[in-house]
């Protein structure tokens, strides 16, 4: 008598007569630690970006903080460069440049930015690293979460939260240190004397770091990040993605290590699910390209490790293109498709804006001048019959050294500045001074129009060589 095969009934996940829920409850992702070539590069990027972020405000340049966005003084200090609000155009150009760079790199390399350099990824990586050190790897963390509260669980969870909060506050402090001199900020913080705005921003930025990297994590990439939404419009089937080679991997299934998969009718995927377990967004890359994939390459490292153990060729999950995977293209064939119209257009725009940005920054005037007629003082006759107009001249020293300037006027015969024409300014300082301009009586009598066009010339007095001069147009008014 043959034994009746044991049947395990398949249970529907929900009531099939009901529509699927609008909101799927969040499944906590317990990403498993992974090692490998891409993991090492991810940590190189973590260290590189964080050394820059935490270290830059402590660097000095010419006796001042090297990078400081001094909002009170309306000065942006960069190494070798002082920018004024009038230089806002450079910030706009930088944003345009960043946008084109993102378009270009997305068209070529998909979400490589997300996986290796995006602050959300970098901080999530750091927070997960702390979590692993304190609570252990995937299984240990799952067990700890499921275990009832005990002194051990309290100690581990408490230690993790303390480390996360300390890092978040340090991040908030560093962020504020880009806007307030960081050494003064540190002195105030250690004396518990932070001002209300400084305290607010330290805690606000710290809370944002904690919330995004410790609590929301992959939810930011899955549901909040706008880049994840519009990246599809910048990519095509020849953009680099991380993909599973289903032609090679299917049919998936477990098998003894030394078995011949072909004889068993199997592909190279042994269905170990390691690629899913290491994924920080909790997706299965074997289901194809998904919006949630941030391109971190953790699944490549995991799968390459499995392939090594099985004695199979690496690259079942790899950087490839959709066309490359579906048509079985080799690396050289995929590289040949990199230069396509959208990449050339994005590249040309990026190069043009980049060259314009660098050139205009290099040719930027070290001296800024703004002239405004003093509307409170009308044209007036002075003692010798000359006509006098009064202006306010704003001179900005955009260099890192003290400078002397001379103010002159031209455009009418005999027109001259009355009184002292010299001015001295400290590095990165500005001053608005009243300037009286006089036109001799005989020159004024020979003019018919009441409004005359004149030019202010402010010259930087250099001890040697060429000195920059800035000209600013204005008008000279004659009395009726």
What residue ranges bind ligand SF4 (CB under 6 A)?
242, 244, 249, 252, 269-275, 278-281, 283, 285-286, 293-299, 302-303, 306, 316-317
By beta-carbon proximity to ligand SF4, the closer residue of 65 and 121 is: 121
By beta-carbon proximity to ligand SF4, the closer residue of 150 and 287 is: 287
By beta-carbon proximity to ligand SF4, the closer residue of 275 and 398 is: 275
What residues pair up with 65 in beta bridges, in sequence order? 60
By beta-carbon proximity to ligand SF4, the closer residue of 303 and 369 is: 303
- Give the Cα separation of 168 and 223 in Å (integer): 23
Q: Least distance (Å) from ligand SF4 to the CB of residue 38? A: 9
Residue 413 sits at the vertex; the CA angle it makes with 410 and 417, to the nearest 5 degrees, is 50
By beta-carbon proximity to ligand SF4, the closer residue of 156 and 217 is: 217
Q: Are 368 and 84 in contact (CB under 8 A)?
A: yes
DSSP 3-state assignment of 36?
coil
Torsion-angle region of 31 (φ positive above 0: left; ψ -120 to 50: alpha; else: beta):
beta
Name residues whose C-beta falls within 8 Å of residue 117's C-beta, 6 or more positions apart in sequence.
45, 49
Q: Least distance (Å) from ligand SF4 to the CB of residue 118? A: 12
Q: Least distance (Å) from ligand SF4 to the CB of residue 219? A: 13
Q: Least distance (Å) from ligand SF4 to the CB of residue 297? A: 5
By beta-carbon proximity to ligand SF4, the closer residue of 36 and 57 is: 36
Q: Least distance (Å) from ligand SF4 to the CB of residue 247? A: 13
Torsion-angle region of 390 (φ positive above 0: left; ψ -120 to 50: alpha; else: beta):
beta
Q: Which pair of tokens denotes residue 369?
A: 């001048």
Q: Least distance (Å) from ligand SF4 to the CB of residue 338? A: 20
By beta-carbon proximity to ligand SF4, the closer residue of 302 and 454 is: 302
Q: Least distance (Å) from ligand SF4 to the CB of residue 272? A: 4
By beta-carbon proximity to ligand SF4, the closer residue of 317 and 393 is: 317
By beta-carbon proximity to ligand SF4, the closer residue of 12 and 311 is: 311
- Give the Cα separation of 389 and 406 in Å (integer): 19
- What are the strands, taking DSSP E only, across 155-266? 240-244
Can you tell me which residue has the tokens 């992702």?
29
By beta-carbon proximity to ligand SF4, the closer residue of 195 and 253 is: 253
Name residues whose C-beta falls within 8 Å of residue 462's C-beta, 6 or more positions apart in sequence.
none
Q: What is the DSSP letter of 76?
A: E
Question: Rounded to whole angstroms, what are the CA distances from 256 to 260, 261, 350?
Answer: 9, 9, 52
What residues pair up with 416 in beta bridges, in sequence order? 438
Q: Least distance (Å) from ligand SF4 to the CB of residue 326? A: 17
Q: Inter-axis angle of helices 138-146 and 119-135, to 10 degrees?
A: 70
Answer whether the bond into residue 415 is a cis peptide, omega within 30°. no
By beta-carbon proximity to ligand SF4, the closer residue of 125 and 238 is: 125
Q: Least distance (Å) from ligand SF4 to the CB of residue 263? A: 18
Q: Least distance (Å) from ligand SF4 to the CB of residue 29? A: 10
DSSP 3-state assignment of 251?
coil
Q: Which pair of tokens denotes residue 146?
A: 């499921």
- Give the Cα separation of 225 and 219 in Å (integer): 9
Q: Least distance (Å) from ligand SF4 to the CB of residue 191? A: 45
Can you tell me which residue has the tokens 């991380």?
242
At 317, phi and psi to the nearest 5? -110, 130
**Which has the closest alpha carbon to 419: 428, 406, 402?**
406
CA-CA-CA-CA torsion sign (265, 266, 267, 268)? negative
- Give the Cα separation of 65 and 58 in Å (integer): 7
By beta-carbon proximity to ligand SF4, the closer residue of 34 and 350 is: 34
Q: Are 62 and 400 in contact (CB under 8 A)?
A: yes
Q: Least distance (Å) from ligand SF4 to the CB of residue 252? A: 6
């Amino acid at each position: 008598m043959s034994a009746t095969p044991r049947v395990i009934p398949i249970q529907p996940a929900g009531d099939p007569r009901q529509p699927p829920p609008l909101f799927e409850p969040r499944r906590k992702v317990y990403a498993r630690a992974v090692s490998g070539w891409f993991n090492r590069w991810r940590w190189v990027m973590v260290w590189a970006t964080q050394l820059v972020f935490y270290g830059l405000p402590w660097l000095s340049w010419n006796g001042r903080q090297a990078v400081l966005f001094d909002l009170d003084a309306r000065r942006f200090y960069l190494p070798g460069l002082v920018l004024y609000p009038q230089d806002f155009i450079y910030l706009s150009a930088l944003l345009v440049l960043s946008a084109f760079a993102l378009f270009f790199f997305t068209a070529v390399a998909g979400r490589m930015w997300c996986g290796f350099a995006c602050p959300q990824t970098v901080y999530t990586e750091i927070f997960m690293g702390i979590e692993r050190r304190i609570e252990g790897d995937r299984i240990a963390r799952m067990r700890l979460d499921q275990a009832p509260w005990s002194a051990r669980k309290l100690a581990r969870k408490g230690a993790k939260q303390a480390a996360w909060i300390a890092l978040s506050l340090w991040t908030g402090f560093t962020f504020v240190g880009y806007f307030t001199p960081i050494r003064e900020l540190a002195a105030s913080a250690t004396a518990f004397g932070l001002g209300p705005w400084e305290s607010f921003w330290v805690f606000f930025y710290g809370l944002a770091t904690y919330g995004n990297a410790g609590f929301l994590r992959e939810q930011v990439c899955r549901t909040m990040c706008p880049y994840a939404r519009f990246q599809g419009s910048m990519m095509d089937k020849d953009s680099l993605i991380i993909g599973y080679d289903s032609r090679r991997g299917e049919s998936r299934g477990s098998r003894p290590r030394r078995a011949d998969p072909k004889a068993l009718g199997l592909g190279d995927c042994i269905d170990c699910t390691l690629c899913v377990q290491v994924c920080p967004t909790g997706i299965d890359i074997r289901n194809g390209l998904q919006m949630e994939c941030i391109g971190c390459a953790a699944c490549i490292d995991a799968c390459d490790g499995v392939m090594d153990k099985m004695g199979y060729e690496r690259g079942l999950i790899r950087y490839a293109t959709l066309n490359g995977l579906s048509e079985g293209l080799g690396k050289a064939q995929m590289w040949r498709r990199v230069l396509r119209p959208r990449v050339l257009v994005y590249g040309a725009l990026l190069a043009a804006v980049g060259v314009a940005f660098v050139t205009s920054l290099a040719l930027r005037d070290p001296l800024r001048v703004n002239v405004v007629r003093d509307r409170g003082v009308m044209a007036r006759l002075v003692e010798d019959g000359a006509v006098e107009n009064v202006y306010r001249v704003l001179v900005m020293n955009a260099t890192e050294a003290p400078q002397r300037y001379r103010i002159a006027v031209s455009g009418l015969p005999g027109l001259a500045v009355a009184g002292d024409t010299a001015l001295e300014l400290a590095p990165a300082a500005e001053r608005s001074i009243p300037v009286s301009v006089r036109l001799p009586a005989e020159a004024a009598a020979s003019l018919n129009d009441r409004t005359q066009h004149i030019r202010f010339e402010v010259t930087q007095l250099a001890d040697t060589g060429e000195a920059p001069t800035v000209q600013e147009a204005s008008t000279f008014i004659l009395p009726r």
